A and B are shown apart, each in its own frame.
Chain A
């Protein structure tokens, strides 16, 4: 079946603009995760959803970052008033769940490369 998809694949935006990144998880996966990977840095956890709720938002770097998930499926990560330090690859992953018999394997999308000029 289809894997995790993300759009756009690349986004160039001017400093101060808002951007929305989209993630379509694998069908049936209840858990969805957002990560950020800056150049030369490791992956950074941002937020995860179990269904439509986000139990852990502690990874969001500032209040300019927000995410939502509707219908237990698609998620959007919104960055307001973008800054140059927001430039990174934003990765989304999904898994069957987060609780119970886990740990559940996470399947990653190809990422969105965000460049803030």
Chain B
């Protein structure tokens, strides 16, 4: 069964601290993995997209890693800011040749940054 599991479900950190969010998936065959940030009441915004051949990708203070062998990904946030408070969603795409495969979403990690 194709699934995406994220941990922790929620996380509270102090402003300026670092944190790491985890994503484990069983989606196979795998095409790509995305991390999204979703502010309350808004649509998700893409942070990173990685294919199976990529191990790491950065976007400012966000760094995503991917281990396609163990089917694990992490999102590391450095020097957190109050505006980082949001839900972070891991999305895995099923491989269907050259076209888009079905997307599987994790339930997200709710991050709260306190001053």
> Quick check: B45 and A108 within 8 Å, CB to CB?
yes
A20 within 8 A of B: no
A13 within 8 A of B: no
Whether A103 contacts B98 in the complex (CB less than 8 A), given A42-B106, A91-B43, comes out as: no
> Quick check: A93 and B98 within 8 Å, CB to CB?
no
Main secondary structure of the interface of B (DSSP, over half): strand
> Quick check: A48 and B100 within 8 Å, CB to CB?
yes
Residues in B whose Cβ lies below 8 Å from that of A35: 105
> Quick check: A103 and B93 within 8 Å, CB to CB?
yes
**Listed residue (B41, B44, B101) with the most chain A CB atoms within 10 angstroms of its CB:** B44
> Quick check: A109 and B43 within 8 Å, CB to CB?
yes
A18 within 8 A of B: no
> Quick check: B89 and A103 within 8 Å, CB to CB?
no
